């Protein structure tokens, strides 16, 4: 998989993922600091290319002068996420995405989740954006540290989590006040797409619906922003 952007390439090296090649803009040769140092230390081949060559390789001009070829992203299982939480001695903290198809939104959500200490993100196999180079770039280096599980049926997955003592809440209008809810313990928050929200059957399967108070004329938020508000409120409560 090709990834690009300074943070994405740097964090792939720091996380010791399988990086096959690093491509750096020729004007940065000898001036790239930690990226060059880590690549050299790991015996990773470095090629210095022109801006135009990097743009062609990344298929995007916003590469910041850094492109890397890494192993394809390996999806986790839901059990891996639960085991990860258990290994840290923590109650599961999970985000479930229903219908998020924009790679920029997915990348931003992964970044938010990694920063908030979420143990993993669950996405459906259909009607969902896969992990690709745009997601990697937008995650700003968070992707190598996040577990992402891709499942066939979100309803069945939610039922499974509930049997593992994980409370599952849909984040959408018409529910209880997010800030007055108990978000401690095993927790999964479901975020829907801006266009269609959360599917009715998925919402029905959840333990409840939580809503962020809206004080303005607009009554909806971008999916990644809504996710950020919800997971950081959960983090605040879980640290008390």
pLDDT tens per residue, range 103-121: 999 999 999 999 999 999 9
Which residue, among 13, 8, 110, has the nearest Cα to 58 in the 3D structure?
A: 8
Tell whether the model's pLDDT for residue 16 goes beyond 80.
Answer: no
**For residue 220, pLDDT beyond 90:** no
- Does residue 60 surpass a pLDDT of 90? no
Average pLDDT over residues 15-20: 83
Q: How many CB atoms lie within 10 A of CB 95?
A: 27
The set of residues, in sequence order, having a beta carbon less than 8 Å from that of 66 and lying 6+ positions away, is: 4, 5, 6, 8, 9, 10, 22, 23, 24, 25, 28, 32, 35, 54
Confidence class for position 141, pLDDT limits 50, 70, 90:
confident
Q: What is the mean pLDDT of residues 125-129?
A: 87
Mean pLDDT for the stretch of residues 112-131: 94
Q: Do domains 2-70 and 78-238 have the same CATH topology?
A: no
Which pLDDT value is given to residue 176?
95
- The alpha carbon dihedral of 43, 54, 146, 232 has a sign of positive
**What's the CATH class of domain 78-238?**
alpha beta
Which architecture, in CATH terms, is 2-70?
2-Layer Sandwich (3.30)
pTM: 0.85
pLDDT band at 85 (very low <50, low <70, confident <90, very high): very high
Domain ranges for the chain, please list them: 2-70, 78-238
Neighbours of 233 (CB within 10 A): 18
* Residue 194, pLDDT above cutoff 80: no
Beta-carbon neighbour count of residue 236 at 10 Å? 12
Most confident of 3-7, 92-96, 142-146, 194-198: 92-96
């Amino acid at each position: 998989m090709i990834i690009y952007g300074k943070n994405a390439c740097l964090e792939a090296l720091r996380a010791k993922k399988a990086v096959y090649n690093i491509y750096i803009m020729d004007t940065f040769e000898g001036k790239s600091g930690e990226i060059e140092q880590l690549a050299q230390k790991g015996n990773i081949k470095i090629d210095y290319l022109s801006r135009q060559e990097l743009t062609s390789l990344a298929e995007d001009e916003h590469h910041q002068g850094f492109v890397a070829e890494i192993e394809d992203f390996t999806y986790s299982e839901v059990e891996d996420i639960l085991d990860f939480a258990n290994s840290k001695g923590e109650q599961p903290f999970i985000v479930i995405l229903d219908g998020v198809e924009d790679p920029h939104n997915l990348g931003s959500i992964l970044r938010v989740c990694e920063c908030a200490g979420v143990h993993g993100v669950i996405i459906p196999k259909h009607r969902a954006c896969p992990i690709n180079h745009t997601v990697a770039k937008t995650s700003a280096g968070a992707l190598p540290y996040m577990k992402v599980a891709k499942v066939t049926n979100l309803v069945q997955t939610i039922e499974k989590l509930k049997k593992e003592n994980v409370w599952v809440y849909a984040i959408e209008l018409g529910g209880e006040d997010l800030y007055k809810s108990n978000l401690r313990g095993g927790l999964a928050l479901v975020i829907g797409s801006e266009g269609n929200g959360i599917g009715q059957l998925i919402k029905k399967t959840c333990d409840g619906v939580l809503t962020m108070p809206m004080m303005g004329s607009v009554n909806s938020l971008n999916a990644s922003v809504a996710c950020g508000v919800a997971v950081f409120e959960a983090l605040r409560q879980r640290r008390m």
